């Protein structure tokens, strides 16, 4: 299961055409706010997110919408004393692959974010004058 197709067709009631959009919502969330991922067990992960005061409500809304179509997910959204929003996710053992796909998507987003940040701090390459 790749990072972009972790939504299981056999257990999701979201229309097929809408699944990539939902996966995309998680991709944007992770790309913009991911601070870390703790994979506690194959069926349990905690995703750490940085953001303003409204982030917890936005994450809770997304988690509620995901649970409405993929009822095997159990999400708990809370703010840590550090200020991070914690997205605590559990799934039954038969859906561990789905959680692994979501975690992979989050980690890929973090790697892309780190690469983009590093690229932004690199000095621009000197321009080479065209040969005339």
Residue 48 bridge partners (DSSP)? 36, 86
Q: How wide is the angle at C-alpha 99 spanned by C-alphas 98 and 102, nearest 5°?
A: 90
Question: Cβ distance 5 to 59 under 8 Å?
Answer: no
Between 122 and 53, whose confidence is greater? Answer: 53
* Structure tokens that stand for 17 in this block: 């055409």
Helix count (H) and strand count (E) of the chain? Answer: 3, 4
Q: Looking at the predicted structure, is the pLDDT value of residue 87 above 90?
A: yes
Q: Looking at the predicted structure, is the pLDDT value of residue 116 above 70?
A: no
**What are the residue ranges spanned by the domains of the chain?**
35-115
Q: Reading across the β-sheet that carries 85-90, which strands appear in turn?
A: 34-41, 44-49, 85-90, 74-79
Topology at the third CATH level for domain 35-115:
Gyrase A; domain 2 (3.30.1360)
Please report the pLDDT score of residue 19 as a whole number.
77
Question: Cβ distance 109 to 34 under 8 Å?
Answer: yes
Question: Cβ distance 49 to 87 under 8 Å?
Answer: yes
Residue 38 pLDDT class (50, 70, 90 cuts): very high
Burial of 49 (0-12, 13-18, 19+ CB in 10 A): buried
Mean pLDDT, range 87-102, rounded to an integer: 94
Any idea which of 20-29, 51-60, 82-91 has the lowest mean pLDDT? 20-29
């Amino acid at each position: 299961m790749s990072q972009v197709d972790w939504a299981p067709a056999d257990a999701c009631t979201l229309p097929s055409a809408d699944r990539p959009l939902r996966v995309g919502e998680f991709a944007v969330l992770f790309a913009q706010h991911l601070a870390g991922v703790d994979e506690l067990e194959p069926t349990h992960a905690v995703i750490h997110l940085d953001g303003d005061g409204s982030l917890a409500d936005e994450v809770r809304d997304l988690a509620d919408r995901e649970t409405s179509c993929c009822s095997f997910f159990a999400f708990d959204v809370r703010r840590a004393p550090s200020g991070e929003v914690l997205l605590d996710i559990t799934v039954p053992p038969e859906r561990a692959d789905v959680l692994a796909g979501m975690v992979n998507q989050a980690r890929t987003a973090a790697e892309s974010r780190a690469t983009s940040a590093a690229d932004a701090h690199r000095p621009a390459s000197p321009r080479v004058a065209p040969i005339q």
